[in-house]
Structure formats: C-alpha cells, structure tokens
A and B are shown apart, each in its own frame.
Chain A
Amino acid sequence: MNEQLAGALAAEEAAIWAYGLIGVHLREGAEQDQAHAAEDVHRVRRDDLVVRLGTLKASTPPVPAGYELPFPVEDRASALKLAVQIEDGVAQAWRVVLPVTEGAQRVDALSALTDSAVRATKWRKLAQITPLTLTFPGRPTT
C-alpha cells in the first residue's frame, strides 16, 4: 500500500506546484477562486498522506528535483489545459489506491479520485473542451 500512497503523495505535490502557475493566468474572480480552492484541497490531501505514510513508517518519498511542464503555460488556455491534465493525473494516482485499501480508507481514496475527476470536468467546461468527461476517470489513457 505504501507504494500506491507514495504515488498519490507525489501527484498531490505536483498539483500544488502546478496550481501556483495556473492561477496567475486565469481570470480574476471565480476562475482564480476555483484554482485556489483546488490548491487548498490538494494541500489537505498532501498533509493527510504525509501523516499516513509517517504512521506506516514508510521511507520519505524522494522529492523530485524539479518539475517539468508538459507544455509552456503562458496564457489562460494553456493554464486550463494544465489544470485538466493535473487533475486527471491525481485521479489516476488515487485509482491505484483502491485495490490495496478496504472499507473507510478505500472510500476516502475514491472520494479523492472523484473530486479530481469532477474538478477536471469543471476545468474542461471553462476551457470548452469536449467531451467534458472521461469514460473511466483515473484509468490511464495510453
């Protein structure tokens, strides 16, 4: 389970980092608020995971030296595209936690997967990317 939780932690860390870049390119008001709210949720998830992995006495996951953007983020369109990609990635990281957990822990992982999938849909709506949904959220597409 540690391996899967460490994967979720890495995805949450990447999301927090990415939202720092995304926010500044979005429209002030509702859009930026949505980005800040998303970042806050990812921080809470990250902190929970750090505690859980600590309780499990897992070795600290390696902190990546730096993140690389999949594409340049210079305007609103690319920022929204990155937000979609980030949330899809977080959903994938939580999906693999489902088979290695049970009961309340699995429900919690499912709620993280679902929240990210729903946020991805919200970002697609703003970016006018269709379809707004994935057939199997969290399932790797490649």
Chain B
Amino acid sequence: MLTGAVRMSDSGHTRRRALGAGGVLVGLVTLGGCGLFGDDPEPAPAPDPLQPVLDEALALASAYDRVILTQQTLSARLTPLAQAHRAHATELAKVIGTTLPSGSAAPSAPGTADDTVAGLRKAELAAQKTAVAACKTAAAGRAALVGSIAAARATHAEALR
C-alpha cells in the first residue's frame, strides 16, 4: 500500500497540494484504496501463455529460410518444415487473438553460427520442450493444437536426422 501511495504521488500531485501538508499521506492512501486514481496507467496485460510458442514458430521459420538461402540444395527438404512453422504461427495467432508480422517483410533475426541443419535440429528439440510445457497447462480448448505443434517439432527433428 505504501509503495502504491508513493508511486501514485506523481499523478496525485495537484490533489496533494489541494489537500495541504497535514493530511497528505492519509488522503493518498484513502484515495488510492478507493481506486479514484483512474489516470494511473493500467498494468500491461500478462502475455498469452502461448506467445512463446508462437515466437519460436516464427523464429524457426526464419532460421529455415536462412539455411535454405545459403544451401539451395536443401530447399526441397527444408521448405515443408518452414511452411509448417508458418502454419503453426497462423493458428496460434488466431487463438491468441493477435496478428502476425506481415509475410516476408517480417524482420528476420540476424543469422547465427547455428544456421546449419544440426543447429535447426537442436532448435526444434528445444522448441518441442516449450510446446510440451505449454500444452501441459493449456486450457482444454487449446490443448490439441499445442499438442500437435509439439509433436510436429519432434517429427521435424526426426526428419533432419
């Protein structure tokens, strides 16, 4: 409560002066408790629990694109996997209620030393773990989608072996 009152003292500046020195703290605490400081910024909504799964899908799609660019001969093998990640991202965005950065214009992360088939495989296995954890705690209506994405990531890792 005290922290709240101190934090709110900025927006309560005019009120503080109006109240006069005597009842300042009490007034702030009371007003704060009554929720009258409506001009305080709303706390940012917690990110959707599936957001990390979506972010990883987009990051993986970009990583595949970078490997395909440098090794064209792998295109036939890797393109379906990149497309799968984009399909996952599209469906995740739908259930989260967010929009995806538009197509190829999306800022792609800078390349890393892990832009190899072995690096992709490692990233798939790590991303599978994220999806399994998200599936475990997901609402019933989301469990099948996240479960399929987790399984897909495991099959990608197998396909890259």
Interface size class of A (residues with CB under 8 A): 20 to 34
Q: Determine whether A106 belongs to the interface, using a CB cutoff of 8 Å to chain B.
A: yes
Which of B132, B141, B151 has the most C-beta atoms of chain A within 10 angstroms of its own C-beta?
A: B151
Q: Tell me whether A132 and B150 are in contact (CB under 8 A).
A: no
CA A110 to CA B156, docked complex, whole Å = 16
Report A95-115 CB contacts with B as 1/0, cut-off 8 Å.
110111001001101100110
Residue among B141, B152, B154, B158 making CB contact with A135, cutoff 8 Å: B152
What B residues does A96 contact at CB under 8 A? 144
Residue among A100, A107, A125, A137 making CB contact with B152, cutoff 8 Å: A137
Report B108-152 CB contacts with A as 1/0, cut-off 8 Å.
000000000000000000001000100110001101110111111
Q: Tell me whether A125 and B159 are in contact (CB under 8 A).
A: yes
What 3 A-B pairs are tightest by C-beta distance, nearest first?
Answer: A131-B80, A98-B143, A137-B151
Residue among B76, B140, B150 making CB contact with A114, cutoff 8 Å: B150
What B residues does A133 contact at CB under 8 A? 80-81, 84, 152, 155-156, 158-159
Given contacts A98-B135, A98-B147, are A134 and B140 in contact (CB under 8 A)?
no
Some 17 contacts from A to B, beta carbons below 8 A apart, are A91-B151, A98-B147, A99-B140, A110-B132, A110-B135, A110-B136, A110-B150, A113-B148, A117-B151, A117-B154, A118-B155, A118-B158, A132-B80, A133-B81, A133-B159, A136-B152, A137-B151
